[in-house]
Amino acid sequence: MKRVITYGTFDLLHYGHINLLKRAKKYGDYLIVVLSTDEFNWNMKQKKCYFSYEERKALLEAIRYVDLVIPEENWEQKINDVKEYHVDTFVMGNDWEGKFDFLKDYCEVVYLPRTPEISTTKIKDDLLNK
């Protein structure tokens, strides 16, 4: 079984997220989504989420491409996650291009193009400017 892993906050879930998850799943049989916890988002990214970790987790678990959702609690956990879950392919959006190349010693690293016309930031900006 080929295992794929991706990371994200997935707040205000939208079709760009779904596109990423669908394309990530094509790289294997089992997709693990590592979801940023509320504490990690606030303390390390200075991001306040609209939906709580548990709400975002429930949304992701309802998506047919997603097999497992686990928490992201720190930046450094990626190598351990790849090893612990026997990951074959690490997938991220290409806005992170090159940032995770250090994982190439442990698995294949793939950067997928983002869906250009949508993002959580764009949704928030559009709502604020209405």
Tokens of 19: 């596109």
Instruction: Check whether 122 has a pLDDT greater than 80.
Output: no
Among 2, 22, 25, 47, the active-site one is 47
In 30-65, which positions are buried (b, 16+ CB within 10 angstroms) versus exposed (e)?
A: bbbbbbbbbebbeeeeeeebebebeebbebbeebeb
Is 45 a catalytic site residue?
A: yes
Overall pTM surpassing 0.95 (yes/no):
no
Among 45, 99, 104, 122, the active-site one is 45
Summarised one tens digit per residue, pLDDT across range 22-78 is 999 999 999 999 999 999 999 988 888 899 999 999 999 999 999 999 999 999 999
Could you tell me the end-to-end alpha-carbon distance of the chain, in angstroms, rounded to an integer?
47
Summarised one tens digit per residue, pLDDT across range 11-35 is 988 888 999 999 999 999 999 999 9
What pLDDT, on the 0 to 100 scale, is given for residue 112? 95
Give the confidence band of 82 by pLDDT, cuts at 50, 70, 90. very high
What pLDDT, on the 0 to 100 scale, is given for residue 123? 72
